[in-house]
Amino acid sequence: MCRVTRLLLSLMLLLSLTSALESQDFPPPVYPTGDKYDNLYVNAGVGSGDTHLVFRAESLVVKVSWSNTWDRTITFQANTTNNLSYQDLVCTELVTGITTSTPTTPGAYLCPVLGKQRFRAPISGGTAGIATATIVAKLPIAMPVITR
């Protein structure tokens, strides 16, 4: 068999596998649960969602996602044992490095919680859309120190 024929056969096989994968219906994503993973909410609208104890962690990685019709606001918040009122918490988007307490893009955010007691991410405002927020890492991950 000549080289060109083998190349064409390989290309045809690759194309048939690709079209077979594209035609499959994949199940919706399963959000992690358990002692390392905590759903703050799944497919939720306006509300405060669940709160989670974070007093033994230095930081969290929180994954947020929302529907195409999303026009609401998520705000990362935490409280302390000395101040039970929730205060906005500035987190860092892991891909871009942008810091914010109100994420404008879905993704994973690193949130500093050293010295905090509880964490939440309430949804407010807007008229449409649902969101999911999951703590995917609650470990003693130190916040990066950036020096210039």
Indicate whether 108 belongs to any domain.
yes
| Domain-located, residue 89 | yes
Could you give the 3-state DSSP secondary structure of residue 7? Answer: helix
Residue with tokens 């500035």: 90
* Residue 132, domain member (yes or no): yes
Q: Is residue 12 part of a domain?
A: no
* CB-based contact 94:46 (threshold 8 Å): no
In a domain, residue 118? The reply is yes
Identify whether 15 is part of a domain. no
Return the CATH number at 40: 2.60.120
Kindly report the backbone phi and psi dihedral angles of residue 92, in degrees, each rounded to the nearest multiple of 5, phi listed first.
-110, 125
- CA 10 vs CA 6, 16, 64, 100, 114: distances in Å: 6, 10, 40, 48, 54
Task: List pLDDT tens digits, range 50-109.
Answer: 888 888 888 888 999 898 888 999 999 999 989 999 999 999 998 889 999 999 999 889
Q: What is the pTM of this model?
A: 0.69
CA dist., res. 142 & res. 146, Å (int): 12
Structural domain contains residue 57: yes
Total tally of structural domains belonging to the chain: 1
